[in-house]
Amino acid sequence: MTGRILIVDDVEINLKLLEARLHAEYFEAVPARDGPEALRICAGGGVDLVILDVMMPGMDGYEVCRRLKSDPRSAHIPIILLTALDLPSDRVKGLEAGADDFLTKPFRDLQLFARVKSLLRLKFLTDELRIRAQTTAALIGTDDVLGDIGNGGRHGRVIVVDDSADGGARVARLLASEHECSALPDAPSVTDAAAADLIVIALSSPRHDPLRLCSQLRSNEQTRQVPILLIGEASDESRIAKALELGANDYLLKPIDRNELLARARTQIKRRRFDEGLRRSLQTTIELATSDALTGLQNRRFLDAHLPVAIDRARSESRPLSLLIADIDHFKRINDTHGHDAGDAVLREFAKRVRADLRASDLACRMGGEEFVMVMPDTEAADAARIAERLRETICEEGFAIGATRIRVTVSIGLAIFDAASDNPQTLLKRADRALYAAKQDGRNRVVRLAA
């Protein structure tokens, strides 16, 4: 794992030493000698992590941290604060300013690089989600889809895993002022763990292996994204480093300071909610990008992605596949006579009847205008012809409401049956389209099938 790391310190020798340590681990180090320079570099992009000294003249590290986290261009960049101050209140102040972690000088390489690698891993995951969400937003022409997601790290569901006599209960009591907590002596079930916003694991447990629990949580798809906060002793340093490599997100050393515990829990829960919000946003934008806004059916973009997959499956598994193209007859006349609002109402009702007539495994798409495509896997020619005829009758025999009146609407349908020896998505669509044209030429309101 590598990354571009910004080092911010007003002391030149500190910059050089830290830069050398990072280069030795194959990271790219970028130096900045004060807060304003750090803000300019981060605003320019390309920074994966910031290592920031607290004690600097003019603008101290806390203020730099606050400004970075308040700027949308840099809010996602993880920050490690470095200081010679060792009071819990100093750590809490840094965490509340938005820092992701806090190291006290002097620190060893093991402490530093375990933190750096853990934060970079999380940052790269979040970056991928952000990029996908923004790309999909650009695809559908909407504004920033990320919005104000993920704000707030309170009122979370926290599980504390500690089998000592009162350790887990004490941690749960400390967290209970801000969260819904439960203390367990053993590993939680997958269902409970997946529903949690944070899992706190004590490294001192003799009844189970905390490192194996970290590994199990990260290897299970349902719990992979749940943040893990470790609680250990100063003597647990090597185990903590290993746990961070396995995917734990943060750690806290005893004796536990209540404010620091709450601050670290808020940080992890806030990130969890941010990433969950990104995933929901991504799912929403994908649905918007692949759905037709008027009818709620899938659109041409989705069909273009889905049809090759359906054909590959039909060919590889020797399964039948049928495809219909339906076109509402004289649709322009409906618009011209009754207005475009009436035309839209007809399209919506037509889509509703199509959905009611098809199976859950079938795919209905609006190609554009008044043309619709239905992909029917595992459907033989005779069955496809019956479905097409039933749909034609459903459209023809039941009028469409236009205000207080009902009008007669008909549909022409072209049917094509997949031929594994010769068909691809283009030829299958083209044959169905030719069949549709033949239905129109033959007088409309009919189903036509053309042989391969």
CATH of the domain at 324: 3.30.70.270
Q: Can you read off the two tokens belonging to residue 299?
A: 């659109």
Q: Is residue 440 one of the residues assigned to a domain? A: yes
Residues in Cβ contact with 192 at an 8 Å cutoff, skipping those fewer than 6 apart: 159
CATH of the domain at 65: 3.40.50.2300
Contact 272, 223 (CB under 8 A): no
Distances (CA, A) of 443 to 156, 189, 413: 64, 64, 12
Q: Can you read off the two tokens belonging to residue 117?
A: 């690698």
User: Out of 79-83, 267-271, 397-401, which region has the weakest mean confidence (pLDDT)?
Assistant: 267-271
DSSP calls for 296-318: -SEEHHHHHHHHHHHHHHHHHTT
Pairing of strands 49-53, 28-32: unpaired
Contact 282, 274 (CB under 8 A): no
Q: What percent of the chain has pLDDT over 90?
A: 56
Give the residue, 388 or 305, on which the prediction is more confident: 388
Residue from 293, 321, 297 nearest 309 by CA: 321
Q: Is the pLDDT of residue 145 over 70?
A: no
Q: Is residue 223 one of the residues assigned to a domain? A: yes
- What sign has the CA pseudo-torsion 267, 271, 277, 281? positive
Reported confidence tier of residue 66, pLDDT bands at 50, 70, 90: very high
Residue where a domain terminates, one of 285, 320, 340: 285
Residues 151 and 101 in one domain: no
Residues 239 and 341 in one domain: no
- pLDDT for 21-43, tens place per residue? 999 999 999 999 999 999 999 99
Residues 343 and 388 in one domain: yes
Report pLDDT for 141: 59
Q: Based on the residue annotation, tell me whether 317 is a catalytic residue of this protein.
A: no
Q: Is the pLDDT of residue 131 over 70?
A: no
Q: Is residue 55 one of the residues assigned to a domain? A: yes
Pairing of strands 363-368, 371-377: antiparallel
Calpha distance 115→113 (Å, rounded):
5
User: Out of 16-25, 90-99, 136-145, which region has the weakest mean confidence (pLDDT)?
Assistant: 136-145
Mean pLDDT of 417-435: 95
Cα-trace Rg, the chain: 30
Residues 243 and 323 in one domain: no
Residues 350 and 443 in one domain: yes
Residues 259 and 397 in one domain: no
Q: Can you read off the two tokens belonging to residue 90?
A: 């100093």
- Where in the sequence is the domain holding 60, given as residue range(s)? 1-107
Report pLDDT for 138: 62
Residue where a domain terminates, one of 250, 285, 320: 285
Give how many domains the chain has, as a whole number. Answer: 3
Calpha distance 355→292 (Å, rounded):
14
Q: Is the pLDDT of residue 17 over 80?
A: yes
Q: Is the pLDDT of residue 305 over 90?
A: no
Give the residue, 262 or 6, on which the prediction is more confident: 6
Residues 427 and 337 in one domain: yes
**Catalytic residue (one of 370, 389, 397, 398):** 370
Residues 335 and 445 in one domain: yes
Q: Is residue 428 one of the residues assigned to a domain? A: yes
Residues 192 and 263 in one domain: yes
- pLDDT for 45-63, tens place per residue? 889 999 999 999 999 999 9
Residues 235 and 276 in one domain: yes
Give the residue, 166 or 209, on which the prediction is more confident: 209
Residues 384 and 244 in one domain: no
Residues in Cβ contact with 283 at an 8 Å cutoff, skipping those fewer than 6 apart: none
Amino acid identity, position 410: T
Q: Is the pLDDT of residue 97 over 70?
A: yes
Residues 18 and 93 in one domain: yes
Q: Is the pLDDT of residue 315 over 50?
A: yes
Cα dihedral 130/136/139/141 (nearest 10): -80
Q: Is residue 393 one of the residues assigned to a domain? A: yes
- pLDDT for 176-199, tens place per residue? 999 999 999 888 999 999 999 999
Report pLDDT for 149: 47
Contact 226, 156 (CB under 8 A): no
Calpha distance 263→383 (Å, rounded):
63
Cα dihedral 189/190/195/198 (nearest 10): 80
User: Out of 98-107, 211-220, 404-413, which region has the weakest mean confidence (pLDDT)?
Assistant: 98-107
Q: Is residue 235 one of the residues assigned to a domain? A: yes
Residue where a domain terminates, one of 237, 253, 285: 285
Q: Is the pLDDT of residue 424 over 70?
A: yes
Q: Is residue 130 one of the residues assigned to a domain? A: no
Q: Is residue 128 one of the residues assigned to a domain? A: no
Residues in the chain: 452
Reported confidence tier of residue 218, pLDDT bands at 50, 70, 90: very high
Mean pLDDT of the chain: 88
Reported confidence tier of residue 76, pLDDT bands at 50, 70, 90: confident
Contact 412, 429 (CB under 8 A): no
